[in-house]
Structure 1
Amino acid sequence: MRIGIIGTGVAGSLLAERLDGAPGIETAVFERVRPGEHAEAGTGLNLGPNAAKALRLHLPERHAALREASLPWRRWFVDLADGTRLLDLDLLEVADEPGVRIRWSELYRVLRAPVAGITRHGHALEAVEEDAAGRLVPVFRRADGELARHGGFDLLVGGDGRYSQLRALTAGVPEPRQLGVCIWRLLVPDATDCPFDDYGQWFNGNARLLAFRVPGNAVYVAGTFPLGEDGQITAEHRGLDYQRRLFLPPDAEPSADVAWMLAQIAARFGEIHWARSADAPMLRHSPDGRALFLGDAAQAMVPTLGQGATQAVEDGVLAGAVLRAGGDVRAVAALRDPRVGFVRDLSWAASDTLLPGVDSVAGTRKKNGEAFRAELRRLYRDVPGPEELLAA
């Protein structure tokens, strides 16, 4: 079986590692960017304990490399902007091991290293054709501007992200569902004087700051706030004064944590990346079964619980197990779609405190209850190991 993987993001890299050298499978990997172009990519992210568990069970060497390149995510606390504590959770109460905090560039380095030798860089997917045997033939635009074809594939796998070109070409462009919330992101590269460490959130009404340290003495900071009825990010929203007002408590001084973040926002405001929080309809494969979608290409979700990259990790290692065992795209869907559906629904429901008209204090305190913790246990622990997959 000849399998082509489009994109060496989280899911694509892990799938390629799992399939490389598998009996009866020839794997080819294609990446749009040139080697090293993601060396300083993005800001930071947290991977849930379920991602770490998936790697530990299925790719222990990658688990060890990820741990070495990251900081542990063990604590999750939620405060008001004046420092009032609403929630303080030790993740080991609901998970088998801590999650991780890491920079995107380091995550790419760790995951791409094992498949660097089988990856063709500078290949941007432009079209999909069909050969005489009915196999899909991807057509790439190379970095030098020339078109390239590398033969037919029994299966093409889209690991090319939320705006997957493979999904668009084989199954159409999905229509996103907007949450009605702006999310912006910032990396503070020198955080020597930062007063906090692990994963924290700070609410002021429905506006929220989220931040945590990542390796290299840096801090990842994200802000969210509700948008107007038109759902657009306006010029006013992108103003420093507007953002400062969002996160300043009206009748109290900001906590030391919030004051520090407001100072960093003011100093680095031009570096903020702005986006709207949204998901897209889940789709695991093309109608004819010749294209499989993993990670954000299959299941773009709102980032409230940090499960986008985490589910991409699960996708990569578990889809690899299914394909190595001779399963097809429908077997991957049967394994992954119920699980991902649960995660997407939970992430959307957990976004309630970000929306206008919802009491963020009462909503956060409710998450201290057993019902939400039971959902977190299911989220963080329900990852099948090799024996469970074999039995299934």
Structure 2
Amino acid sequence: MTPRTPTQRIVIVGAGVAGSIMARALARQAGLEVTCLEQVAPDDHASAGLVIGPNAIKALHLRDPLLASAIGEAGLPWDHWRVSLCSGEVLLDLPLTRVADHGGVRILRATLYRVLRGAAAGTIRYRCKLLECGASPQDPARSYVVWEQDGRQCRLDDIDLLIAADGRDSPIRSAFGGQPEVHQVGALLLRLLVPDAGAGRIDDYEQWCNGPNRLLAFRLPHGQINIAGSLPLRPDNATPHVGIGPQALRAAYTPTHARPGPQAGWLIDTLCANVDAICWYRMQAPGIRFAEPRAQVMYLGDSAHAMAPPLGQGVAQAIEDACSAAELIATSLAGGETSPRAWLATFEAARLERLRFVMSVAPHAAGLMLGGATEQERASALAALRQLYCQVALPRHGVGPGAGTGLPA
């Protein structure tokens, strides 16, 4: 009689993008007992728009084609990327087919969460407030979590792998690794979701520049426009958006010696008319951390890293994280490797290499956006974007970092 393989207990904290994908993937894997804890109710979603980069759609098509198709059907395609000055002069007009195998997706965050959480139905426990977590007293490699759900306290012990997908201010990461050092990037970001009243001026993904001040906008399903922007920020400014009213916004985005173009003009007017509804946040980045060195704890998405908004890589890298981790665990189990410690080592090596490359692409792309680049610089920037959007590496057990993509280059 073949001995029964012990069940691995896995707990995922957070059912956002990465957590929901992991919950669905691991719940379908034999030999795993999977619990996903989410602090909000099932229909409690953030109201914002986002773009998902082609690389994430590619990775998801490999791991879970049905889920990738469901996301595409719920959003609009991202096929084009244009960058202009606020005066209207076009600096970049790039069909994504030049640098990607296919396009990305424009989607409401609430819609994306609904699709992902619905696909993981039965695995996610909602309204779970994390109270405590830490290393197991009997085995420091394993862990425990304590949470409150509907007024009742619950606890799980002897967790073989704890997956933190609980956001930028991750309580799991703070509990196991201490509060991460946060680097202030020096930018104040804004976000606003409005009805499409611009007579069709805004459609696919576009950006506008006025010196260091940037605007970004794209159309979403159901007649909505997502507007985002950035302004330079001194790292020591403790109250960054105080005092930024309609007059300051208009001055920031209006060219000095020209009138704004029709699109930028509409965006400026819309921001100024909706100042009280703007969501402001500081751009900051904690140090990258994908795994604890001793405890069997994995970090995904914003709990592991933060991404700059351009290039569609915020949600994209969370999706890549989850697809990579799910692929690694599945192939490891199939090959007889049941040690979470081994999974973590392979995952961390592969994701660190990929993420460092992704972060290096932004300076290349900046040259394209600002104009005045030489032909050699443009060719280098387009090659970097092509590698970003096409060469998606999903690590497998026993395969070195960066290899075994499972996808055509």
- Displacement of 1:259 in angstroms is 1.3
Alignment of 1:334-373 (within 5 A): 334-347=349-362, 349=363, 361-362=370-371, 369-373=378-382
User: Is the Cα contact below 8 Å between 2:24 and 2:123 reproduced in 1?
Assistant: no
Bigger shift: 202-211 or 379-388?
379-388
Q: How far apart in 2 are the matches of 1:265 and 1:390?
A: 44
Bigger shift: 163-172 or 361-370?
361-370
Q: Which of 28, 41, 60 is 2:35 aligned to?
A: 28
Alignment of 1:185-334 (within 5 A): 185-191=191-197, 193-228=199-234, 230-234=236-240, 237-326=243-332, 328-334=343-349
Q: Is it true that 1:71 corresponds to 2:76 in the alignment?
A: yes
Bigger shift: 323-332 or 374-383?
323-332
Gaps of 5+ in 1: 354-358
- Which position in structure 1 is the counterpart of 2:187? 181
The sequence identity of aligned pairs, in percent, is 37
Q: Deviations over 1:41-75 (max 9, x none)?
A: 13101110001101111110011101101111111
Q: Deviations over 1:55-102 (max 9, x none)?
A: 111110011101101111111111111101111111110101101111
Q: Is it true that 1:116 corresponds to 2:121 in the alignment?
A: yes
Residue identity matched to 1:377 = R
Q: How far apart in 1 are the matches of 2:150 and 2:52?
A: 32
Q: Number of aligned pairs? A: 382
Segments ≥4 residues shifted beyond 6 Å: 363-368
Residue identity matched to 2:48 = T
- Displacement of 1:230 in angstroms is 2.7
User: Is the Cα contact below 8 Å between 1:182 and 1:274 reproduced in 2?
Assistant: yes
Residue identity matched to 1:295 = G
Q: Which of 12, 23, 39 is 1:16 aligned to?
A: 23
Q: 1:63 to 1:102 in 2, by over 3 A?
A: same
Q: How far apart in 1 are the matches of 2:198 and 2:258?
A: 26
Residue identity matched to 2:114 = R
- Which position in structure 1 is the counterpart of 2:111? 106
Gaps of 5+ in 2: 1-7, 333-341, 397-403
Report the secondary structure of 2:310's partner residue: coil
Q: 1:364 to 1:70 in 2, by over 3 A?
A: farther
Bigger shift: 127-136 or 289-298?
127-136
Bigger shift: 317-326 or 5-14?
317-326
User: Is the Cα contact below 8 Å between 2:249 and 2:272 reproduced in 1?
Assistant: no
Report the secondary structure of 1:113's partner residue: helix
- Displacement of 1:140 in angstroms is 1.2
- Displacement of 1:317 in angstroms is 1.1
User: Is the Cα contact below 8 Å between 1:49 and 1:95 reproduced in 2?
Assistant: yes
Report the secondary structure of 2:311's partner residue: coil
- Displacement of 1:268 in angstroms is 1.7
Normalized against structure 2, the TM-score is what?
0.87
Q: Which protein, 1 or 2, shows the higher relative CO under an 8 Å CA cutoff with sep ≥ 6?
A: 1
Q: 1:208 to 1:368 in 2, by over 3 A?
A: farther
Q: How far apart in 2 are the matches of 1:92 and 1:231?
A: 41
Residue identity matched to 1:5 = I
Q: How far apart in 1 are the matches of 2:405 and 2:9?
A: 23
- Which position in structure 1 is the counterpart of 2:390? 381
Q: How far apart in 2 are the matches of 1:240 and 1:365?
A: 37
Q: 1:364 to 1:223 in 2, by over 3 A?
A: farther
Q: How far apart in 1 are the matches of 2:373 and 2:248?
A: 25
Q: How far apart in 1 are the matches of 2:83 and 2:185?
A: 21
Q: How far apart in 1 are the matches of 2:158 and 2:29?
A: 19
- Which position in structure 2 is the counterpart of 1:356? none
User: Is the Cα contact below 8 Å between 1:184 and 1:273 reproduced in 2?
Assistant: yes
Q: Deviations over 1:211-248 (max 9, x none)?
A: 01111111100111112363444455521110111011
User: Is the Cα contact below 8 Å between 1:122 and 1:142 reproduced in 2?
Assistant: yes
Report the secondary structure of 2:122's partner residue: helix
Q: How far apart in 2 are the matches of 1:90 and 1:8?
A: 33
Q: How far apart in 1 are the matches of 2:64 and 2:299?
A: 21
Report the secondary structure of 2:12's partner residue: strand
- Displacement of 1:104 in angstroms is 0.3
Q: Deviations over 1:164-199 (max 9, x none)?
A: 111111111111111211110000133462412111
